[in-house]
Structure 1
Amino acid sequence: MHHRHFALSTAIATTVVGLSCSAAIVVGRSQPSLAQTPALPADPVIRVTPNSPQLEQAYTLGGGDRIRIEILRVPQYSGEQEVLVDGSLNLPLVGKIPVEGLTLERASQVLVEAYSAYLRQPIVTVSLVEPRPLKIGIAGEVQRPGAYTLTREGAQFPTLTRAIEIAGGITQSADLRNARIRRPQHSGPDLEIQVDLWSLLKTGDLSADLTLRDGDTIAIPTLTEIDLQEASELAAASFAAKEVPPLNIAVVGEVYRPGTHTLNSSGGAEGLPTVTQALQAAGGIKPLANIRRLQIRRPTRNGSQQIIEVDLWQLLQVGDLSQDLRLQNGDTIVVPIAREIEPSESTQLATASFSAENIRVNIVGEVKQPGGIQIPPNTPLNQALLAAGGFTNRADTDSVELIRLNPDGTISQRTIDLDFSQGLNELNNPALRNADAIVISRSTLASISDTMDTAINPLGKLLTILNFPFRFFGLFGQ
């Protein structure tokens, strides 16, 4: 029996020594790569990938772990123990034993050495009953960066994507290809693990969804340039935001109600408000809006500002939904003014979902229903005249005056020669804008008639007065 115990103890010791040697070889191999690094940070790290051999490490003990210690044929010293906050075990007979940072195999060897002073050739087995909660930090492009405590769910240890979900999910500016995990080591420099979470989305590569360790710090960097096609895929990721509070968005430029607007989301990241919804909330675009060069100015977690260009004309022409970018809190949408818009484009813009429903123009003079009228954006002048009931029989049907308030604050007035056979065009049938005024004058014949009435009317009154005495005496003569 003693010989069998000695052989088993020798085998365990040989295995542990072998493991220790392997670990020493891995660290030894990493030193040349460190020396070749051009410039080390102030706090040195070893940069590795998820498939690096340095990550193939067994679980290491720490404060809060619950373990079971089995000493063969010594049940009075066996049982469950919890690793104390200082990383030690307080055991009967041997007292305080440090196990912080040790694997289960190494902890077994340490206990064999400790009990060897009291027991003959002890055989000790250490197993994990309940792992401690993990304390991790997460920073960068997540909704709620900070410190978190993660627990095991069944047999599954917390992973990278699980930590991101608990932190509220990624933002729309997250650079998933360059996520980093900084992992402290019990001895030697920290490990910095470079993770490509984009490969998880595209190929289902589970090696990117690393199992976390206590003390890990996760950093999700900011994209330097946003790809509109990829942005929609980010919103559909399992670790995108699940619940998004109302967003405060600013819209400036060629819209009818510029300023800040609060937009509600419907669900998670896939339900985030989009650019066109924000334009609708801002009253719609004006007729001279340059929808090919919209800009979204987005603040990031690192204090910088991203400039994202959106071409809504592509959305109208080919249905490119990637142009209708999902927004996030703090975005500013800038709608520039176009130098010139083709009449055919004006018609399409007027029917776009993000155009204003109506504009108001004033029509005064010789129409049947003068005053302010509501018409769709980019309505041609001819249609506006018909909406006002058409001309009276006194109207000059050859031309009208168009008075317009320009974007720079000036007022322009020009004469439009009417031609009802023309379609929309700037010369004879221009598209109207909000606050335009149209003046319809009297025809030449009506003007002459009114002038003659003005001249004859006083003479008629004088004749009436001179004729009054004769009419008076004629009354009594009867």
Structure 2
Amino acid sequence: MVNAGSLKFLAQPAVGAALLTAVHLILPSASLAQGQSVFPNSQTVPRINRPVSTPIQQPDTNYLLGGGDLIRVNVFEVPEYTGEYQIPPGGAINLPLIGSVSVLGLTTEQAADIITEKYRRFLKRPQISINLLSPRPINVLVAGEVTRPGAYTLSLQGGAGNNPGVQYPTVLAALTTAQGVTLAADVTQVQLKRKTGRSGEQLVTLNLKELIQTGNTAQDITLRDGDVIVVPTATTFNVAEARNLFAANFAASQTAPRTVAVIGEVYRPGSYLVSAGSTDGQNGTAASSGLPNVSRAIQLAGGITSQADIRNIKLRRPTRVGSEQTVDINLWELLKNGDVNQDVIVQDGDTIVIPTATAITPAEATQLATTTLSPAKIQVGVVGEVKQPGAVSLQANSSLNQALLAAGGFNDARARKGSVELIRLNPNGSVTKREIKVDFSQGINEESNPILRNNDVVVVNRSGVARTTDGLNILAGPLGIIFNMLRFFGI
């Protein structure tokens, strides 16, 4: 260990310049190529030193002593005064002759200078040095757009005890420990706050987007005890960047289920647990991507109804600052042009709102019925004067005429073929009934051949002739009984 007098000698400008030149001549690339940042008393922490497109202000890398550090105080003139000390939480150690000395928040060199001055009262030329034998654990605070904000203790890697080759955790390690950044995060403005000395503070802004795009690890700064990491909320939402962030190793877990609410024009509005993984789609085909996205949430909610407007879906996302991000989604672009960015990745707490369409063409309704956004089948009741009355299973967005044909068609001898009744249970709990004139020559239209919804009931009434015949049969029943009784008594 270099003593205080030697340090003062090396600090002279001329000596320092000569020494630096000599180091470069002997080892032209040894330290810089390896990206090593030299810490006090041979304490080293690796740091990759590559060219970056966005230079950042490096934080103070000097190690500051604190409670829990194990140090050795070397008193060269009096070896019996040399000893190892575990710094207590208050930061003061008790040394021979001079008593209590506070080293809290000081570098090893600063602490050695203070102890040297105190020993001058008892020693003629005191030479004091301090070695950091074992650093304390790294305690950091992670706040903002992470899954679990809070205080964390990060373990050190590498040597321990008298081995100073300790690797300190980085910003990414802290974000991962906090279970990753949320999809509402602005990773281009991550802030690192670090104490300098006993009262100062340094603020460094990191752009982790560069880390994703270029592998620029200079943004992944080595942490020190007491560091504070703040991940801000993005002011705007970019679906493509959010998808890239979702794949980053410091983002929230891709496989963790997330609770998402789906409301509006779906068959089963409610709250659902959406997770990643390959599962079958609603109509027997594989889901589009296997990601926890909007389309998977819609599938869990039973699929879209025939009245859904998939061009103007809204995703509402709460943020850590109490605000709400709103994302506009056009799933028609996903179906038509394969724009997967429209199928936004969801996260815990999202709400998906599917509005009611003002108008849907028959061609669009038919096309939507064949996608995984619609349910595989809907159940419709067809009762009354049809050949096979009961529940029929239809493809989503099927029409009234298709339901009648699925039930075998009209009972020709008894059915009133001119019109039927459509009974519908609405999402608000009300029930509507309307009469529809049947025309099998018509395509899909709201007047004579509307698209049916799940649990609709179609009632086919009797014709006038059937009602008359049924009335005569009812009347003939009692008369037949009376006639048989008269014959029994011989009247």
CA change 1:91–1:243 in 2 (3 A) is farther
Identify the residue that residue 84 of structure 2 maps to in structure 1.
Answer: 80
Write out aligned runs for 1:157-196 (5 A). Answer: 157-187=168-198, 189-196=200-207
Q: Deviations over 1:210-267 (max 9, x none)?
A: 2222222222122222211122222211112238765433222112222333445669
Instruction: Give the Å deviation of 1:180.
Output: 1.6
Alpha-carbon distance between aligned partners in 2 of 1:341 and 1:243, rounded to the nearest angstrom: 36
Which of 43, 48, 57 in structure 2 is aligned with 1:52? 57
Quickly say closer, same or farther: Cα 1:215–1:10, change in 2 above 3 A. Answer: closer
Q: 2:307 aligns with which of 266, 288, 303?
A: 288
Alignment-derived partner of residue 197 in structure 1: 208
- Aligned match for 1:415, one of 436, 442, 460: 436
Letter in 2 for 1:103: T
Structure 1 residues 139, 340: CA separation in 2 closer, same or farther (over 3 Å shift)?
same
CA 1:383–1:279 in structure 2 vs 1: closer, same or farther (change >3 Å)? Answer: same
3-state SS, counterpart of residue 196 of structure 2:
coil
1:346 corresponds to which residue? 365
CA offsets per residue over residues 75-97 of structure 1, 9 Å max, x none? 43334332232223323344333
CA contact (8 A) 2:386 2:415 kept: no
The structural deviation recorded for 1:56 is 4.1
SS in structure 2 of the partner of residue 234 of structure 1? helix
Flag the 1:8–1:300 CA change in 2: closer, same or farther, 3 A: closer
Match of 1:104 in 2: 108
Q: CA deviation at 1:189?
A: 4.3
215-224 or 393-402: bigger deviation? 393-402
Matches within 5 A, 1:310-329: 310-329=329-348
Tell me the residue number matched to 2:157: 153
SS in 1 for 2:404: helix
**Larger helix proportion of the pair:** 1
The answer to whether 1:210 aligns with 2:224 is no
The aligned counterpart of 1:140 is 144
Partner of 2:456: 436
**Match for 1:158: what amino acid?**
P
SS of the residue corresponding to residue 181 of structure 1 reads strand
Match of 1:303 in 2: 322
Of 248, 262, 266, which aligns to 1:251?
262
Q: Which residue number corresponds to residue 408 of structure 2?
A: 389
Separation in structure 2 between the aligned mates of residue 391 and residue 106 of structure 1, nearest angstrom: 98
- Could you tell me which residue of structure 1 aligns to residue 48 of structure 2? none
Q: Which amino acid aligns with 1:290?
A: D
Conserved 8 A contact 1:298-1:305: yes
The number of equivalent residue pairs is 430
Note closer, same or farther for the CA distance 1:85–1:102 as it changes in structure 2 (3 Å cut): same
Q: How far did residue 200 of structure 1 move?
A: 1.6
Larger Rg belongs to:
1
- Structure 1 length as normaliser, TM-score? 0.76
> Per the alignment, do residues 465 and 222 of structure 1 end up closer, same or farther by CA in structure 2, a change over 3 Å counting?
closer
Which amino acid in structure 2 is aligned with residue 78 of structure 1?
Answer: T
Q: Deviations over 1:254-288 (max 9, x none)?
A: 12222333445669xx9873322222222222110
Contact 2:72–2:83 (CA under 8 A) maintained in structure 1: yes
Q: Secondary structure at the match of 1:139?
A: strand
Q: Corresponding residue for 1:362?
A: 381
Distance (whole Å) between structure 2 residues aligned to residue 457 and residue 65 of structure 1: 101
Q: After TM superposition, give the deviation of residue 337 of structure 1 in Å.
A: 0.7
How does 1:443-462 map onto structure 2 within 5 Å? 447=464
Q: Report the residue type matching 1:304 in the other structure.
A: S
**Which residue identity does 1:351 align to in structure 2?**
T
- 2-structure distance, mates of 1:379, 1:330: 34
Alignment correspondent of 1:372: 391
Residue 162 of structure 1 aligns to a residue whose secondary structure is helix
Partner SS, residue 364 of structure 1? strand
**Amino acid of the structure 2 residue aligned with 1:353:** T
Select the residue among 2, 8, 15 that pairs with 1:13.
Answer: 8
Of 384-393 and 239-248, the range deviating more from structure 2? 239-248
CA pair 347-234 structure 1, distance change in 2 beyond 3 A: same
Q: CA distance change for structure 1 residues 84 and 399 in 2, over 3 Å: closer, same or farther?
A: same
| Partner in structure 2 of residue 45 of structure 1 | none
Q: 1:8 to 1:383 in 2, by over 3 A?
A: closer
Q: Which 10-residue stretch deviates more, 65-74 or 247-256? A: 65-74
Structure 1 unaligned spans of 5+: 1-6, 19-48
Whether the 8 Å contact between 1:398 and 1:418 is mirrored in structure 2 is no
Contact 2:4–2:112, Cα closer than 8 Å, also in 1: no
Equivalent position SS for 1:330: coil
CA distance in 2, matches of 1:463, 1:411: 43
Pair 312,140 (structure 1): closer, same or farther in 2 beyond 3 Å: same
State the distance in 1 between where 2:300 and 2:175 align: 31
Structure 1 counterpart of 2:64, one-letter code = T
Indicate conservation of the 8 Å contact 1:402/1:436, yes or no: no
Partner of 2:20: none
- Of 214, 235, 239 in structure 1, the residue corresponding to residue 246 of structure 2 is 235
Name the CA distance, whole Å, in 1 between partners of 2:427 and 2:135.
67
Unaligned stretches of 5+ in structure 2?
14-53, 159-165, 279-288
Relative to structure 1, the CA distance from residue 397 to residue 319 in structure 2 (aligned partners, 3 Å threshold; closer, same or farther) is farther
Q: Which secondary structure does the structure 2 equivalent of 1:184 belong to?
A: strand
Counterparts of 2:247 and 2:409, CA distance in 1: 54
What is the alpha-carbon distance in structure 2 between the residues aligned to residue 88 and residue 106 of structure 1? Answer: 14
Aligned partners of 1:246 and 1:448: how far apart in 2?
Answer: 61
Tell me the percent identity: 42
CA contact (8 A) 1:273 1:327 kept: yes
Q: CA RMSD in A?
A: 3.9
